[in-house]
Structure 1
C-alpha cells in the first residue's frame, strides 16, 4: 500500500535507480510487513538547480548524491516500526547502491486506510 516518491540528481544509471527501488522495497517488506508485490514507486530526476536542500542542516553533511524519499502509508504503524524503517532504508541503501547514510532523507505521510484506491474506482481498504 505504500506510494513511494524518490527524488534524486539526474544522471544516475538505470542500475543505480533499480538498486534504490529494490532496497527501499526490501526495507518496507522487512519492517512494515508490506507484501513483496505491493510496489508503487515514482522516481523523479532533477538537475542540480532543481534539487534544493541544505547541505548541513542538523549538522549532517550532505553531498550531491542526496536522495529524498517520501512514503505515503496507512497510519497503522508504531513509532518503533517507523524508526526501524528509517534505519533499514539507510542500511539497505548503504549496501546497494552504496549511498551514504547522510544523503538519505525520508519523510512519511500517513493517511487513513479509506484514502486508497488501487484501481477500478474502488476504495479497497474502506470498511
Structure 2
C-alpha cells in the first residue's frame, strides 16, 4: 500500500500526466510486487522558480517519494529502482534525472479502515 508522490517541474509532461502516473504504478508493481488495484499516486508540477534542482539536471528532473511499509528486501528495492528508471526513461526522463526516496513506515503506524495496518490482512506480502 505505498503512497507515492511525484514532484517535477512544469512543462515537460504536457498531456502525459496519466502516462507518467501509470509508469510509476507499473514500476511499483514490478519492484514491490503489489497488486494492480493498490494505487495511491499523486503528481505535483512546480513552476521553475518553485523547485530548485541540482546543477546539470534537465527539465524533466523528478523526485519520486514513496512511503511504504517497512520489510521490503534490498533486492525488492533494487528491482523498484531499476523498474522506475526504465519506465520513466521510456517517457523521455533521463535516468540521471530521477531521484527515488523510500520512507519506510512500520505497519502499526499506518492507519487503514480505522485500524493499524499491522492488524489487517492486506492480501499481499510486504516482505518480498
TM-score of the aligned structures, taking structure 2 as reference length: 0.84
Alpha-carbon separation, structure 2, partners of 1:76 and 1:21: 24
Q: Aligned pair in 2 of structure 1 residues 80, 124: CA closer, same or farther (>3 Å)?
A: closer
Given the alignment of the two structures, is residue 25 of structure 1 paired with residue 18 of structure 2, yes or no?
no
Partner of residue 113, structure 1: 107
Alpha-carbon separation, structure 1, partners of 2:89 and 2:37: 23
**How many residues align structurally?**
119
TM-score of the aligned structures, taking structure 1 as reference length: 0.85
The Cα RMSD (Å) is: 1.5
Q: Secondary structure at the match of 1:125?
A: helix
**Residue deviations 1:20-76, cap 9 Å, x none?**
111111111112111111110121111111111212xxxxx4111101100001111
Q: Secondary structure at the match of 1:90?
A: helix
